[in-house]
Amino acid sequence: MSDLENRLDRASSGEYRLNPDEQRHYLNTFRERVLLAITLSDAQNPLLKAQFDHILRTYDSQSDPIFVKLSGSLPDDLSGFYLKTATNHHFEGQILEEETTDTYGIIIHTDHAMDLDKIDLADCFPDINLTELPTQAKPKKSLFSKLFG
């Protein structure tokens, strides 16, 4: 009898999803459908913005429909940029406004199970460096050293 009561409680509250915690964690999709998961901190990194077109180009050749989901926690200017880039590649983009975990900022997924072992940005794209140190500028010479040095 308690199973029936639990099922009725969930149905009456409007939340009846299979594995809702997993879906919330991966921005309303299942882990087995995810092609690439980018953390919220990496999604906010300006270095990723420059590499996002390159990332999406790798999925252009797939015949399966590709979806790009963005966390509502991302700033509006970044969300707009990522959404526009996704639509330029003919991917369906979506910004989630509902409460999700703060783990992932961008999820790229399909509509069926792919069940990939490695879905993190560092594993899928090891050539992308988001911790690039700024190059040290040479100290400027003073006017005196330019004239006499």
List domains and CATH numbers for the chain: 16-113 (3.30.1330.30)
Average pLDDT, the chain: 84
pLDDT tens-place string over residues 66-116: 999 999 999 999 999 999 999 999 999 999 887 666 789 999 999 999 999
Q: What is the DSSP code string of 14-29? A: T---SSHHHHHHTTSS
pLDDT computed for residue 121 by the predictor: 95
User: Taking the model in full, what pTM does it have?
Assistant: 0.75
C-alpha to C-alpha distances, 93 to 33, 49, 67, 71, nearest whole angstrom = 15, 16, 6, 11
> Bridge-partner residues for 39, per DSSP?
104
